[in-house]
């Protein structure tokens, strides 16, 4: 019998809308880090045929040039595509209880609309809209995030 082991894969691709404006900070090392909130909805019919919507709210972290891009061009309500990895963060809440939050550590962010209709964005009303995507490898885990 062989000792073949299937490799683990931690990859997510999400499309949704930003729930708040990006929050950009810099680590003491100078590395940019930006926090985003993403709402991802799914629509379905219940057993009785009624249309339903279920929305998940997901925290996203971007790094480096991707963080600076998201802060400069994206605003609350904008539709975006996010690719990255799931990451868990443990912390203590105000009551001293240990909590775990799952978030997406983004490798790639792409806006899905390219006009000024939702605020922000580099393209004006004229000319052809150009997709804006930036990719950057994530830095090593750093517990020194300032928020």
- List Cα–Cα distances, 65 to 32, 41, 56, in angstroms: 7, 28, 27
**3.90.1150.10, 3.40.50.300, 2.40.50.140, 3.40.50.10490: CATH of 12-135:** 2.40.50.140
* 145 — pLDDT class (breaks 50, 70, 90): low
User: Is the pTM above the cut of 0.75?
Assistant: no
Q: Which residue has the tokens 């150009």?
A: 130
| Residues whose CB falls within 8 Å of the CB of residue 14, separated by 6 or more in sequence, listed in order | 38, 40, 58, 81, 82, 83, 104
Domain boundaries, the chain: 12-135
In this structure, of 25-34, 51-60, 106-115, the range with the lowest mean pLDDT score is 106-115
Q: Which residue has the higher pLDDT, 43 or 2?
A: 43
């Amino acid at each position: 019998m062989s000792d073949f082991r299937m490799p683990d894969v931690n990859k997510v691709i999400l499309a949704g809308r930003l729930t708040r404006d990006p929050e950009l900070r810099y680590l003491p090392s100078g590395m940019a880090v930006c926090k985003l909130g993403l709402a991802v909805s799914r629509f379905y019919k219940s057993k009785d045929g009624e249309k339903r919507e279920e929305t998940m709210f997901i925290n996203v972290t971007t790094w480096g040039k991707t963080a600076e891009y998201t802060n400069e061009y994206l605003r609350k309500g904008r539709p975006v595509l996010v690719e990255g990895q799931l990451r868990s963060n443990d912390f203590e809440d105000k009551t001293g209880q240990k909590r775990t939050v799952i978030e997406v550590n983004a490798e790639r962010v792409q806006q899905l609309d390219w006009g000024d209709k939702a605020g922000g964005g580099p393209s004006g009303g004229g000319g052809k809209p150009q997709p804006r995507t930036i990719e950057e490898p994530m830095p090593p885990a750093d517990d020194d995030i300032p928020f």
